[in-house]
Amino acid sequence: MTIELIVVLLVAPLIGFLINGLLGKWLKGNEQLSGWIGSLAVLVSLVCSIIAFASLHGGAAPFDETLYEWITGESFAFNIGFRVDALTSVMLLVITGVGFLIHVYSIGYMHGDEGYTRYFAYLNLFVFAMLILVLGNNYLMMFVGWEGVGLCSYLLIGFWYEKQTATDAGKKAFIVNRIGDFGFLLGMFTLFAAFGTLDFASIFEAAEADNFQKVFGASTLVIATLLLFVGAIGKSAQIPLYVWLPDAMEGPTPVSALIHAATMVTAGVYMIARSAVLYNIAHTGEVVAWIGVLTAFFAATIALTQNDIKRILAYSTVSQLGYMFLGVGVGAYASGIFHLVTHAFFKGLMFLTAGSVMHAMANELDMRKMGGLKTKMPITHWTFLVGALAIAGFPFLSGFWSKDEILHSAWGSSPIIYVIGLVTAFLTAFYMFRLIFVTFYGESRVEPDVDSHLHESPPVMWVPLAILAIPSALIGLLLGWGGHESWFHHFTKSVFPEAHHDASGNVILFMVISSIVGLAGIAFAWSRYRERTPSDEPTNALHRLLANKYYVDEMYNALIVQPIKNGSHYLLWRIVDNGIIDGIVNGVGTIIRFIGGTLRRLQTGLVQVYIVSMVLGIVLFLAYYLFFT
Amino acid sequence: MLLSIVIFLPLLGVIAIALLRGLGASAIKGIALVIGLLTFIVSLGLYTGFDTTTATFQNVTQQAWIPGLGTSYHIGIDGISLWLVLLTTFLTPVCILAAWNSVEKGLSGFMMSLLALETGMLGVFCALDLFLFFVFWESMLIPMYFLIGIWGGERRIYATVKFVLYTMAGSALMLVGILALYFQNNNSFDLTTLSGPFEHSHLLFLAFFIAFAIKVPLFPFHTWLPDAHVEAPTVGSVILAGVLLKMGTYGIIRFCLPLFPDAATEFTPLIVPLAVIGIIYGALVAMVQPDLKKLVAYSSVSHLGFVVLGLFSKNPAGIQGSVLQMINHGLSTGALFLLVGMIYERRHSRMIVDFGGLAKGMPIFATIFMIVTLSSIGLPGLNGFVGEYMILFGSFVQGAFSKIYVVLATAGVILAAVYMLWMFQRVMFGTLDKTNEALPDLNAREIVVMLPILLFIVWIGVYPKPFLSKMEKSVGLVVTQVQTEPAVGRAGEQILQDTELALHGTQRAQNEKIEKEAETK
Amino acid sequence: MSLEYYLILSALLFTIGVIGVLIRRNAIIIFMCIELMLNAANLAFVAISRSLGEATGQVFVFFVMTVAAAEVAIGLAIIVSVFKHRQTVNVDEVNSLKG
Amino acid sequence: MNAEQILFILFGAVSLIGAISVISFRHPIYSALSLIVTFFAQAGLFVLLGAHFVAAVQVIVYAGAIMVLFLFVIMLLNLETLSVQGAIGRKLKGLAIILGILFAAEGIYIAVNALNDTAVASAESGAAAVTTTTYDIGELLFSKYLLPFEVTSLILLAALIGVIVLVKREGQEES
């Protein structure tokens, strides 16, 4: 594992971006070429990641080296440095693995789009930024990757820039991410103020040895970790700042798969897992867990009533991210990351299948206009089913293992969280299979003209689906067998501090409970939606509340966006700037002109007036001179 | 000698153009460009010859000018002014190239005032004599007055008069300050011999500071900027935003901080809130501007609020960050104005509402505009981030003021993204109507204008080391002068040692002067 | 006679001159009043020079007289030209220099 | 009440009456004549004060030269009796009177006691009624005050040129 390997791994997508970006005009002729260049770049990174994983798996020490000095001065030094340990290699494999499959899928999906090369340039830039985020050996590098992926998600969401809704969604995503980054930045400053450096190694070491300058007194780490968590909330779409993810579905579907399911949104989980030491010392895990589980439940309830396939998957992602935060919050960092890995695969799979459904249905997303696609698109149907089963926690599939581990350790931390987690698992199973039954089963509600050319997607699209379906199903079994002694825990033990509370109670009982809950969800969905299609308008008050997503967007708009916009337009600009400040400046001018005006009238031109004023002057002067001096 | 050449070469150009005016437009433009490039190349000589180990002034030339008055032609540069000189000599040829065919009437006058402006600006950055500094400071106003007044927009007279009067009011105060210093420095204007506490240093600090705050512009004194920018010709705006605004911040770091450290500490709780208000207020007002140039002008108010915040953080990183941010702002806002100028030449409108979907019609323009926008909102990997990060981090870690201001300033980073991206979306994305469809994309000349700036934007973002190392020692000297208590942190002692060396330098100069006087008595 | 009486007399004469200048409209009358004021000054000069016993005061009277003569010459010339131009000598009708 | 006091009162009264009549007569000729009377009274007072030469010069210069000029101009412009005071004049009259009274009060106040502490008072007590001769004036004029003497000649020259220019310009306009 040498620095050259890491540099090649990192720079390959950058080169792909430069080729597609700069030479875009000449590549416009044959789309396939730029598509394959993009995919090849990610393939190179995948190969390097596998090499890195192999050497790490073979017992090599974690790799931590500095490439060059970035911003340095006397009392501070921020370098560009890389760190590859178990956690990083897992993330690398997920990013480059899922990334590569999505790149190949996009070649088919984006066929005929005139911004083809631009699309692949942005996608490669995204992978590059995500790699920086994951590979960095200090918080500043992570922040650089953090903002880089934010930029790429802005570019890709607003990819079809003619669509006003797309560019609005892109702008919304960037700004909400920026709010999160604001917290992240302040967290970094607090850490630097306390430790004098931002490198992971030295911070964790100093934190454990507890010898750092107290900036905010004993609560320094608490404040630092909470601020970093604000960054995570922004990036991984948790409770207050999740509003951008559902709108991000405006972008092309492979983008949603890669960015808004597998990689970018998990950056927050990765950050907390990376700074596990700090969260353990500062005991802020509870806050993370609570926000995680509440987001999970909240998003699941909204997903119940949505009718747009991608919106349902988006809310399901928000909900599953809540689970991951729940995992890392209660100290089960390994299971949190494990769920991240499994989720990356099956959610990526589901988005891609949704993409192929859209592709076939001429970009129609409303499932009320679908139904009975099982017969027309068998492969898409089966792959989607695998994903749905995995996410619903169907026994022995990947979702089951990772979600169960999280719920198990959640029970150890606090029963209430466990109960909410369980209810959310039920809701997840329900809305997933509501989607399956409405779109793939029952009679077809597809319009005749669309129905005529309804066909299975081309091989270049369904082959990656098939490849992705295999790990979605089996990876849970492969990595998670044996609960806390599983291969995955063993592999990541070096990075994470051991869970500070042992998960009591026997494992089998928890597995049985969660699988029962999963199956119940599926059965309930079967009973309700086997024949009936979801009604068009919401029936009762609760239904209407959920359908309108708790009016959160409208609230933000009314409470934050409009007041700022109108406030700054009328109050700040018109009144304060033009009115007061400019008023004073111009006022000075008018006052002087006014004084000039009055003085002018004194010059009457009459000699007598002048003489009188002269004599008056003399009289007054004499009076003063005689009586006062 | 090299420095004098750099300063007065543009003046040579002015004379050359004045004489050869009859040869027609292309000759004038040719001469101007050659002079501009020549100055830049010669100024690179300054860069290569610059010794980064000491904080003392280099390339110093001192000639007797008006001995009776106690003033001398005393110029020199250090780590800070080196970069500002290079920024000026870099931006001027770019501007000359950008204004190639945008000036119809009075081309020779235009080029002459541009080059005269360059001489004025270079003089300000290199003057080590208060009298000389004031002369250049005032002389720089005249060409700017003509640039805006003659080649400006509709309300140009109002704008240029407001600009000149505002600056003159400030510099009148400064003149009083200079004279006060003159008398307290036994009748000499020499900056290097000025030292030690001055009587009523608070008033003097205020006199200097207000003059510079108007130039920066700091929050309450900023209303001249949007008018000046809107009415100025494209190139005028570029130079105004690129270099003229930096005179204010340069003045603060050259005069206010080192000469009156105690007053600076005392006034920090007053100035820093103004800077933070400037950041937030500038961003909020920029968001709602219908006019592109006004938006960029208000964004300058916001960016320079960061710089002032950094300057008063009394922390090596903070001050270094603000000096770097001066250069970054010069590049990114200069580029923004160039781009706005380019679409103005095509569409003859600056209203955001008139544009839409330009990305489709002008892809190259859109990509360059995107890169410059990202640099201006401080995306990591580009130049804006490095400066802003150092300022915020410097003032947070060991700032001379409470951390709430840093939190508010960091919130300014969000607002920066809001107004720039909203503008970018309304201009670049959306549907393309017929009139915008006909707009041609950037031609070769315009791309050549933008390339060097983009190069620096990426270079400073990715590898700022050469930029930071050159200014490190000079900033260290300023920090020790400002900090009454020794610099905190492990590098503190190290700064102190080599600034001893620097101070001895000035001390020795002072002793010699005293002995000389003793002999003459 | 003692000095005060002369000075009082001169002050009275001077005051009459001032009042004359203020009241009358005709330029020539104003000139006459100015002559009166100058004369009052001469009186004071001579009175004090006598009481001081030296001739300085009287020398100044000469200077005052020459100035008065020059002033009258110029003044009357102006009045004549104004009259030629405006056919009036009244001061309040000649206000073209209004602000 | 010796002769000197009587004469003083006589001449004082005549000059005061003359002065008042100058400013009150309607017709400028009468004002001019009353001014001549005042000048003669002044000359008388100068004689009383022992300044014979000055009295003589007073009569010659003022009464002789300057008043002749006035009469000449009055005749030249043949001003008929002056109309009543203009609107402005009436408004100012009240103010002028008040100012005049005030001015007089201050003048007298100064005359009466402002001088009692200066050298004049001390010298005054011992001074005899000495008359200064022309010799004294001449000697003083050409020794100590030579420069002012030359300056006055310059003033007269300037006045001369001024008048000619004013009048000549007049001439061109007509032709």
**Domain boundaries, given as residue ranges, for chain B:** 279-521
| Token pair in block for residue B384 | 């804006």
Is the separation of the CB atoms in B508 and B500 below 8 Å?
no
Q: Is the pLDDT of residue D85 over 70?
A: no
CA distance C41 to chain D (A): 11
Q: How confident is the model at residue D175 (pLDDT cuts 50, 70, 90)?
A: very low
C1-51 pLDDT, tens per residue? 678 888 889 999 999 998 888 888 888 888 999 999 999 999 999 988 888
Q: How confident is the model at residue B490 (pLDDT cuts 50, 70, 90)?
A: very low
Q: Which of C18, C91, C99 sits opposite A607 (nearest CB)?
A: C91
Is the separation of the CB atoms in A260 and A219 below 8 Å?
no
Q: How many CB atoms lie within 10 A of CB D163?
A: 18
Is the separation of the CB atoms in A421 and A325 below 8 Å?
no
Q: How confident is the model at residue A474 (pLDDT cuts 50, 70, 90)?
A: confident
Q: Is the pLDDT of residue B521 over 50?
A: no
Instruction: Tell which CATH classification among 3.40.50.880, 3.60.20.30, 1.20.120.1200, 3.60.20.10 matches the domain D1-84.
Output: 1.20.120.1200
Contact flag for B and D (3+ C-beta pairs < 8 Å) = no
Q: Is the pLDDT of residue A187 over 80?
A: yes
Q: Which of A606, A612, A626 sits opposite D96 (nearest CB)?
A: A612
| Token pair in block for residue A253 | 């579907």
Q: A313: which residues sit within 8 A by CB, 6+ positions away?
A: A256, A261, A347, A350, A351, A354
Is the separation of the CB atoms in A19 and A117 below 8 Å?
no
**Yes or no, beta carbons of D66 and C51 under 8 Å apart:** no
Of A364-373, B159-168, B502-511, D60-69, where does mean pLDDT reach its minimum? B502-511
B228-272 pLDDT, tens per residue? 998 999 999 999 999 999 999 999 999 988 888 888 888 999 999
- Length of chain D equals 175
Q: Which DSSP letter does residue A284 get?
A: T
Q: B498: which residues sit within 8 A by CB, 6+ positions away?
A: B53, B54, B55, B473, B476
**DSSP string over B172-216:** HHHHHHHHHHHHHTTS--BSTT--S--TTHHHHHHHHHHHHHHHT
Query: What angle, 0 to 180 degrees and rounded to 10, lies between the N-to-C axes of helices A333-360 and A267-274?
Result: 170
Count CA within 13 A, CB hemisphere, residue B297.
Answer: 25
Q: How confident is the model at residue D167 (pLDDT cuts 50, 70, 90)?
A: confident
Structural domains in chain C plus CATH codes: 3-86 (1.10.287.3510)
Query: Which of A272, A318, A275 lies closest to A298, judged by CA?
Result: A318
Q: How many CB atoms lie within 10 A of CB D84?
A: 8
Q: Which of D103, D111, D145 sits opposite C7 (nearest CB)?
A: D111
- Length of chain A equals 629
Query: Which of A488, A610, A574 lies closest to A90, judged by CA?
Result: A488
Chain B residue whose CA is closest to A114: B360
**Spatial separation of the C-alpha atoms in residues B481 and B500, rounded to whole Å:** 11
Is the separation of the CB atoms in A36 and A107 below 8 Å?
yes
| Token pair in block for residue A428 | 């997840």
Query: Phi/psi zone of residue B106: left (φ > 0), alpha (ψ -120 to 50 degrees), beta?
Result: left
**Spatial separation of the C-alpha atoms in residues A162 and A255, rounded to whole Å:** 18
A291-337 pLDDT, tens per residue? 999 999 999 988 888 888 888 999 999 999 999 999 888 888 888 88
**Spatial separation of the C-alpha atoms in residues B301 and B279, rounded to whole Å:** 7
| Token pair in block for residue A563 | 């007041």
Is the separation of the CB atoms in B192 and B57 below 8 Å?
yes
Q: How confident is the model at residue B491 (pLDDT cuts 50, 70, 90)?
A: very low
B112-131 pLDDT, tens per residue? 999 999 999 999 999 999 99
**Yes or no, beta carbons of A162 and B429 under 8 Å apart:** yes
Q: Is the pLDDT of residue A35 over 80?
A: yes
**Spatial separation of the C-alpha atoms in residues B192 and B128, rounded to whole Å:** 7
| Token pair in block for residue A324 | 């991951």
H or E segment to which residue A77 belongs: strand A77-84
Query: Which of A457, A483, A462 lies closest to A400, judged by CA?
Result: A483
Q: Which DSSP letter does residue A81 get?
A: E
| Token pair in block for residue B112 | 């002459």
A602 contacts on C by Cβ (under 8 Å): 99
Mean local confidence (pLDDT), A184-212? 86
Helix, coil or strand: residue B486:
coil
B323-333 pLDDT, tens per residue? 999 999 999 99
Q: For an interface test with A, which of C15, C31, C91, C94 has the most A Cβ atoms less than 10 Å from its Cβ?
A: C91
| Token pair in block for residue B127 | 């003057």
CA distances, B216 to each of A4, A199, B147, B212, B306 (Å): 46, 36, 20, 6, 11
Q: Is the pLDDT of residue B484 over 80?
A: no
CA distance C96 to chain D (A): 16
**Spatial separation of the C-alpha atoms in residues A531 and A516, rounded to whole Å:** 24
Q: How confident is the model at residue B174 (pLDDT cuts 50, 70, 90)?
A: very high
Contact flag for A and C (3+ C-beta pairs < 8 Å) = yes
**DSSP string over D89-157:** HHHHHHHHHHHHHHHHHHHHHIIIIITTTSHHHHHHHH-------HHHHHHHHTTTTHHHHHHHHHHHH
Of A147-151, B22-26, B40-44, B284-288, where does mean pLDDT reach its minimum? B22-26
Q: Is the pLDDT of residue A392 over 80?
A: yes
Of B8-17, B26-35, B232-241, C80-89, where does mean pLDDT reach its minimum? C80-89
Helix, coil or strand: residue A495:
coil
Buried b / exposed e along B178-187 (16+ C-beta atoms within 10 A): bebbbebbee
Q: How does the average pLDDT of chain B come out, rounded?
A: 86
Query: Phi/psi zone of residue A396: left (φ > 0), alpha (ψ -120 to 50 degrees), beta?
Result: left
Q: How confident is the model at residue B517 (pLDDT cuts 50, 70, 90)?
A: low
**Spatial separation of the C-alpha atoms in residues C11 and B214, rounded to whole Å:** 59
Residue A77: strand pairing partners: A72
Buried b / exposed e along A68-89 (16+ C-beta atoms within 10 A): ebbbbbbbbbbbbbbbbbbbbb
CA distance A596 to chain D (A): 25
Q: For an interface test with B, which of A11, A23, A585, A586 has the most B Cβ atoms less than 10 Å from its Cβ?
A: A585
Q: Residue B487 has what pLDDT? A: 36
Q: Residue A400 has what pLDDT? A: 83
The more confidently predicted of residues B491 and A555 is: A555
| Token pair in block for residue A368 | 């009320």
Helix, coil or strand: residue B56:
coil
**Spatial separation of the C-alpha atoms in residues A89 and A173, rounded to whole Å:** 28
Mean local confidence (pLDDT), A109-124? 86
Chain B residue whose CA is closest to A561: B418
Rg, chain D, Cα only: 21
CA distance A615 to chain C (A): 8
Q: How does the average pLDDT of chain A come out, rounded?
A: 85
Chain D residue whose CA is closest to C82: D170
Say which residue the tokens 């004029």 belong to.
D141
Q: Model pTM?
A: 0.82
Q: How many CB atoms lie within 10 A of CB B4?
A: 15
**Spatial separation of the C-alpha atoms in residues A357 and A456, rounded to whole Å:** 9
A494-548 pLDDT, tens per residue? 777 765 455 556 777 888 888 888 888 888 888 887 777 766 666 777 788 887 8
Q: For an interface test with A, which of D97, D101, D106 has the most A Cβ atoms less than 10 Å from its Cβ?
A: D106
